[in-house]
């Protein structure tokens, strides 16, 4: 079912303390291949930034590392395109500011969302959503970014997933009551995260990100050597301390080199 544009704009008006949201161009779709792909096509046609696309369903959603992003009806499938000026080595900052921004605003609605490295939203130990960032570059600078977000609302989820609507039905007074409200909250989270990033810098944002990172303390084994997750670098590498008899070593593992699991 297509989202109500009027209801979405009504919910979004709640967050107009961030001026960019009042001039955000919104595109709503029933079924499209990918919201990220749609925004790149709109940019190629000369659409002015910032813009957002939301679909009720995606037929070819894209996840990290080339994986398919399952996008069945009932979920929130949203992408935001914005202009930026970020060095290519700091591409992870887009995921950092988006994940932190969304998780932080959901926590204000009494939903204790955490983060799992490198790009997942976690609730009660299960996957609530994920983030996929894509960029365009001039020289060594990222000038345009499309940030794709998928959040489970009322869609079917696997054993390792959780949807927000089912979680909220256990509350006496649910803090979020519609997909349109969730979409507005998510948009606010992204732009608030970006504003905080611009005003405060990466170091402060990374510190706040680490406070809600559920991966800290997670046990891992790489090539038979046991270790413990101790943090994440500003470039998105996972910091792991490996243990051996009488000694320990700290290493940084890039995204994609190791996968952290979920609770079942």
Span 170-183, average pLDDT? 93
CB burial of residue 151 (10 Å; 0-12, 13-18, 19+):
buried
Q: What is the pLDDT of residues 91-142, one digit of tens each?
A: 999 999 999 999 999 999 999 999 999 999 999 999 999 999 999 999 999 9
Q: Is the pLDDT of residue 2 over 60?
A: yes
Least confident range of 15-19, 48-52, 113-117: 15-19
Per the structure block, which two tokens stand in for 48? 């002015």
DSSP 88-137: GGGTHHHHHHHHHHHHHHHHHTT---EEETTTEEEETTEEEEEEEEEEEE
Residue showing tokens 């605003």 = 105
Per-residue pLDDT band for 65 (boundaries 50, 70, 90) equals very low
| pTM of the predicted protein model | 0.93
Count CB-CB contacts under 10 A for residue 4. 14
Query: What is the C-alpha separation between 105 and 120, in angstroms, rounded?
Result: 15
Span 204-222, average pLDDT? 94
Per-residue pLDDT band for 172 (boundaries 50, 70, 90) equals confident
Query: What is the C-alpha separation between 157 and 150, in angstroms, rounded?
Result: 12
Per-residue pLDDT band for 258 (boundaries 50, 70, 90) equals confident
**DSSP 8-state code for residue 68:** B
């Amino acid at each position: 079912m297509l989202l109500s544009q009027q209801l979405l704009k009504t919910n979004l008006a709640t967050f107009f303390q961030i001026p960019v949201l009042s001039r955000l161009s919104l595109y709503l779709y029933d079924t499209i291949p990918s919201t990220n792909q749609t925004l790149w096509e709109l940019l190629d046609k000369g659409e002015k930034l910032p813009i957002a696309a939301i679909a009720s369903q995606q037929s070819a959603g894209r996840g990290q590392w080339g994986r398919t992003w399952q996008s069945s009806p009932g979920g929130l499938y949203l992408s935001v395109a914005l202009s930026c000026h970020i060095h290519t080595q700091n591409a992870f900052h887009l995921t950092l500011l988006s994940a932190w921004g969304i998780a932080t605003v959901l926590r204000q609605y009494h939903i204790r969302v955490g983060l799992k490295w490198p790009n997942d939203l976690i609730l009660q130990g299960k996957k609530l959503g994920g983030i996929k960032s894509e960029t365009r570059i001039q020289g060594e600078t990222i000038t345009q970014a499309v940030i794709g977000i998928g959040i489970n609302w009322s869609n079917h989820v696997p054993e390792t997933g959780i949807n927000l609507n089912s979680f909220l039905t256990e509350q006496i007074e649910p803090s979020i009551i519609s997909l349109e409200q969730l979409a507005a909250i998510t948009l606010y989270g992204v732009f608030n995260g970006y504003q905080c990033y611009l005003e405060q810098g990466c170091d402060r944002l990374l510190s706040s990100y680490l406070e809600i990172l559920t991966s800290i303390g997670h046990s891992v084994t790489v090539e038979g050597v046991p270790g413990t997750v101790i943090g994440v670098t500003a470039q998105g590498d996972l910091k792991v301390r490996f243990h051996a008899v009488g000694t320990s070593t700290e290493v940084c593992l890039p995204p994609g080199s190791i996968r952290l699991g979920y609770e079942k």
